[in-house]
């Protein structure tokens, strides 16, 4: 991974779960990691929900002062530019769609100062998620995120799943979808995620634990 990894995508695409997995993998390898909960629209699932888990692994969490409250106030109460220049890795979990990514534009000039080998912006897709079921829908949303953030994606992550109903075949059936999105976006396919307990044979597979779950599955 590069020093800075920005994760974007549609609501419910699995951005937060991917961010948590990436952070834990780096921390377990002895790396210094900071996770930024940039979900300023305050949805139900966000990286701020995993504060205790992060603390147990020595991961620093930066989140709005209103995270996990009943107040839906789009406030940013941390200095992400400073974090970008500090030692260690920075993972930024951006809010869903263009509404959640609009605040990212504030940092576009600072991030533009980084060489290409220091920053990635990954777009997470889920074939089984409403409004991104077709590659064309996913690409339209990706373009909207890039417009408001004033930044360009560098890779695609295929996180197609059906929650607790996901099987190995569910993952395999969505592989062509991820490849199509990648090809039409003219971006590399970073990989296809799959639950660690599933036996899936993928050359670019990304095994993940499921940390983000609906209340009825927790």
Beta-carbon neighbour count of residue 49 at 10 Å?
Answer: 17
pLDDT score at 217: 64
Taking alpha carbons only, the member of 99, 113, 199, 74 closest to residue 149 is 99
Block means of pLDDT (10 residues each) for the chain, 218 residues, are 94 93 97 90 66 95 62 57 88 88 88 83 96 97 96 97 94 97 98 94 93 70
Angle at 121 between CA 116 and CA 122, to 5 degrees: 130
Dihedral (C-alpha) 93, 165, 129, 20: value to the nearest 10 degrees? Answer: 0
- Mapping DSSP to helix (H, G, I), strand (E, B) and coil, where does residue 48 land? helix
pLDDT score at 74: 47
| C-alpha atoms less than 13 angstroms from C-alpha of 43 in its C-beta half-sphere | 21
pLDDT score at 103: 86
Do residues 91 and 7 touch, judged by C-beta distance below 8 A?
yes
Q: How distant, in Å, are the alpha carbons of 55, 69, 174, 197, 207 from that of 6? A: 21, 24, 23, 27, 19
Q: Number of structural domains, the chain?
A: 1
How buried is 211 (Cβ within 10 angstroms: 0-12 exposed, 13-18 middle, 19+ buried)?
middle
Q: How distant, in Å, are the alpha carbons of 28, 75, 100, 152, 189 from that of 156? A: 24, 28, 18, 12, 5
Do residues 129 and 12 touch, judged by C-beta distance below 8 A?
yes
pLDDT score at 73: 43
pLDDT score at 27: 98
Do residues 171 and 161 touch, judged by C-beta distance below 8 A?
yes
Range of the domain at 131: 4-217
- Residue 178 sits in a domain whose CATH number is 3.40.50.300
């Amino acid at each position: 991974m590069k020093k800075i990894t920005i994760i974007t995508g549609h609501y419910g695409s699995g951005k937060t779960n991917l961010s948590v997995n990436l952070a834990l993998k780096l921390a377990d390898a002895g790396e210094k990691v900071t996770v930024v909960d940039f979900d300023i629209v305050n949805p139900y699932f966000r990286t701020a929900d995993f504060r205790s888990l992060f603390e147990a692994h020595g991961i620093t969490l930066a989140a709005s002062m209103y995270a996990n409250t009943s107040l839906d106030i789009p406030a940013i109460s941390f200095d992400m530019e400073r974090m970008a220049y500090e030692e260690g890795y920075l993972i930024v979990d951006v809010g869903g769609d263009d509404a959640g990514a609009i605040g990212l534009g504030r940092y576009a000039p600072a991030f533009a100062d980084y060489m290409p080998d220091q920053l990635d912006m990954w777009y997470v897709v889920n074939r089984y998620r409403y409004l991104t079921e077709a590659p064309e829908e996913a690409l339209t949303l990706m373009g909207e995120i890039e417009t408001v953030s004033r930044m360009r994606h560098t890779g695609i992550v295929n996180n197609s799943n059906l929650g607790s109903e996901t099987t190995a075949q569910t993952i395999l059936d969505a592989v062509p979808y991820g490849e199509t999105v990648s090809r039409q976006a003219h971006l590399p396919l970073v990989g296809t995620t799959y639950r660690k307990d599933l036996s899936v044979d993928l050359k670019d597979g990304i095994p993940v634990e499921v940390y983000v779950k609906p209340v009825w599955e927790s």
